[in-house]
Structure 1
Amino acid sequence: MSAKTFTAEDAKAANIVLAEEGKGSQAVHDLVVAYRANRRTGSANTKTRGEIRGNNKKMYRQKGTGNARHGTSKAPIFVGGGVAHGPRPRDYSKKVTKNTRRLALRRVLADVIAGGAFKVLPSFAISEPKTKAFVTAVTAEAEPKKVLIVAKSFDDTTYLAARNVQWAELRTAASVNVEELLHADTVLLVEDALETLAARTA
């Protein structure tokens, strides 16, 4: 295997559409915000005074004690009472249109290619499911820090060899997203993924 830098001219030859200068930054922002929002479980929950266990008996008589007037001990001002305006289960997910996703991908691909972090390989496969073999193959093409390898598909042996390497990720061309491309220091693109990427940017 021998990787070569992937340029804007190479992208054009592969029918990969890149965003024009100054276009798509907002789309990238919207998409990354949506990714992060969609990862939130929205399961935080507190009990209101109506859900606290216990009865609604008045704490003490209304007059004559010298204390302030109170009803049930479930009031939010008491320890063990209900929570006022606390979090409730909710859906944080955001929807992003197909056009926005496409524009964001075009923008990020243009930036990664312009930065020289995009390299193309004729093929990528590990013959034995060993971490050492995977590390040797990747470090021959890129520095061992935040490497993203994109191919049309990977065999099981390659997945097994890569599973213990935290600084490298395997993604298919159909599933790789904008956030992963942004976080990578080097993107190794296998030639068989070009057609799928081109279809996603068209």
Structure 2
Amino acid sequence: MELNVIGAKPLSVSDEVFGGEYKQALVHQVVVAYQAGGRAGTKAQLSRGEMSGTTKKFKKQKGGGARHGDYRAPIFVGGGVTFAAKPRSFEQKVNRKSYRVAIRSILAELNRADRLKVVEGFGLDSPKTSAMVAKLAELQVSGRVLLVSEDATESVFLAARNIPYVHVLDVLALNPVSLVGSDYVVMTVDAVKKIEEWLA
């Protein structure tokens, strides 16, 4: 199949990468796993045994109503937490092959919905926000825009950083969450070739 390149001749690409079936369940699984992997997992609470303070029994066993040991028990205000949370990893295992299939599926759906734009280059020699705004208007993209380049220059990063909802990513940093959360994805020809080489 061929991808239309704005201002240049069409680019021949693999049907498998940019024209495959959209697998919603797999895409959802991979997106959730990617987001879970970014969680810090640093929540920590103190259990009864980790609380500071005396363990002295504060009243006699019988004759005073309910039986209690010490004030560190979870039933008391300021006491320990029952089943206290501890730092842990939220990572979910996703096979490398499944991850690649999900990325292919997302790219194919973006292409079908005409939300994938391919350009020769961003053509920004100076880090001017106004130049980037003009470029995006020329490409007729709006909302959340993801710019993907094989080797994005500093000028592109600097020109885009002050525009709300416009993000620049290198091909190596491409991820399912960024793709799914974008209204439009703009890629350079070199980036498309690199992605095709990675996913084919």
TM-score by length of 1: 0.87
Give the root-mean-square deviation of aligned CA atoms: 2.1
- How far does residue 173 in structure 1 lie from its aligned partner after superposition? 2.2
Partner residue, 2:154: 156
Say how many residue pairs are matched.
194
Partner residue, 2:196: 198
Partner residue, 1:60: 59
User: Which letter maps to 2:67?
Assistant: R
SS in 1 for 2:141: coil
User: What do the CA deviations read for 1:17-65 (whole angstroms, capped 9, x no partner)?
Assistant: 236435x33321221011111111111111011011101100112233x
Partner residue, 1:86: 84
Partner residue, 2:166: 168
- How far does residue 16 in structure 1 lie from its aligned partner after superposition? 5.8
SS in 1 for 2:100: helix
- Unaligned 5+ segments in structure 2 are none
User: What do the CA deviations read for 1:86-112 (whole angstroms, capped 9, x no partner)?
Assistant: 321111112211110111011111111
User: Which letter maps to 2:165?
Assistant: W
Whether the 8 Å CA contact 2:73–2:79 is kept in 1: the answer is yes
Alignment of 1:1-202 (within 5 A): 4=6, 13-15=12-14, 17-18=16-17, 20-21=20-21, 24-64=23-63, 66-202=64-200
Change in CA separation of 1:38 and 1:130 when aligned onto 2, cut-off 3 Å: same
User: Which letter maps to 2:27?
Assistant: V
Sequence identity, in percent?
Answer: 34
Whether the 8 Å CA contact 1:46–1:87 is kept in 2: the answer is yes
TM-score by length of 2: 0.88
- Unaligned 5+ segments in structure 1 are none
SS in 1 for 2:98: helix
Q: Which runs of 4+ in 1 moved over 6 A?
A: none
